Amino acid sequence: MGERIAQWWHLMPDGGSGIILLLVELVVALTAMGWAYNRGYRNTERGSVLRLPLLTVAFGLGLLVKHLSEPWWAAAVIALSVLVAGFLGRNDNGRGLGLPVMLVAALLGFGMLISATALTLVAMIAYLLSPVKKR
């Protein structure tokens, strides 16, 4: 069984460890922001702490940004993802986490862990301090 895995392991960039680490970092950031976001709602109004569709899109963005070599393409992809997240969050009755998650995914894709951590903490503080009706 291990020989079969080793046969296909070379297809994953960075040996696969960078991809798994990116996924773990995104899960931790999205879980922390989701927890802070849900704090002001009643139990019946709360969403899930870890939103899988948002995690999937953010993971895809992080992978795409990680493997783009031209900075102009990376900037265009990030700008497009932020625009799409903003429009989707606007149609979600203001209950979207899309914008900060897309920015965190882009930062993690570039390998800027400290900046992504700072943005996650700022988003958590903003969600904890903002009234529920304003979200």
- Which pLDDT score is estimated for 114? 94
Tokens of 53: 């569709």
pLDDT tens for 66-120 read 888 788 888 898 898 888 887 777 665 555 788 889 999 999 988 889 999 999 9
Q: Give the percent of the chain with pLDDT over 70.
A: 82
Mean pLDDT, the chain, as a whole number? 82
Tokens of 38: 């849900």
- Which pLDDT score is estimated for 11? 57
Rounded Cα distance between 108 and 111, Å, is 5
